[in-house]
Amino acid sequence: MTPPKGLEGRPSKSLTLHQAQALIRAAEGSRLHAYIVLCLMTGCRTEEARALRWDHVNLDGDPDSKPPVPPHVAVWRSVRTHGDVKTQKSRRTLRLPEAVVDALKAHRLKQAEDRLLAGALWHDQGLVFASAVGTPLDPSHVRRSFRKVCEDAGIGPNWTPRELRHTFVSIMSEQGVPVEEIARLVGHSTSATTETVYRRELRPVISVGAEVMDKVFRGG
């Protein structure tokens, strides 16, 4: 299958690990904190995060089952017109890192406060990420709020939420995760799509092997 061509426009880039850490710290007082942490640490698309429902999130897992089930998120929906994810293989269930679990638990408490304050104005759609009255988030508002967090983090305003996903791919690659596994995590139908879309973020695995062997044998 031929990988889809990306849309023309400003090329996406990825945060360094230092920038990503600064962004998470700056986001702690923001309504976008859990949104940023989820997208950065799981590789969710922004349209998948905005459509995420609480009934697709399990923050406690099931430690008593055999084998134990960890906290996880079912990425099965998006804000696309038909409501489904981008491709069949985009539908995936991901284990949640502890930092994401903590952020989502705090976010759920804050949303309960929003619900009480909104009263009869609350629109219960079951969304994880919603406005102060429960309605879906406006993407332009998310982008503006995200730029503000980036400025607070000292990394400049020229970043977009989609680059959290690029950062996830970059960090996974830097840690030596094979491209085939990265493709599964981000919901690509093939690793060729991952290599095409994220070619700047992926480390050249073949050359890495040569570098390691050179180091071992030259060192010996």
Q: What angle do CA 189, 56, 104 make, to 5 degrees?
A: 105
Which pLDDT score, from 0 to 100, does residue 177 have? Answer: 84
pTM, full prediction: 0.81
Residue 81's pLDDT is what?
44
pLDDT confidence of residue 65: 84
**122 falls within a domain:** yes
Domain contains 125: yes
Q: What integer pLDDT is reported at residue 83 of this predicted model?
A: 43
pLDDT for 205 equals 47
Q: Does some domain include residue 171? A: no
Which domain range does residue 58 map to?
Answer: 17-161
Residue 183 lies in a domain: no
Q: Give the pLDDT of residue 84.
A: 42
Q: Is 11 a domain residue?
A: no
Residue 101 located in a structural domain: yes
Catalytic residues: 45, 86, 165, 188, 198
What are the residue ranges in the chain where pLDDT is below 70? 1-11, 79-90, 203-214, 216-220
Q: Is residue 26 part of a domain?
A: yes
**CATH of residue 24:** 1.10.443.10
**DSSP characters over the chain:** -PPPPPPSSSPP----HHHHHHHHHHHTTSTTHHHHHHHHHH---HHHHHH-BGGGEESS-BTTSSSPBPPEEEE-B-SSTTSB-SSGGG-EEEEPPHHHHHHHHHHHHHHHHHHHHHGGG-----BSSB-TTSPBPPHHHHHHHHHHHHHHTTS-S---THHHHHHHHHHHHHTT--HHHHHHHHT-SSHHHHHHHTTTTS--HHHHHHHHHHHHHHH-
In a domain, 177, yes or no: no
Domain count, the chain: 1
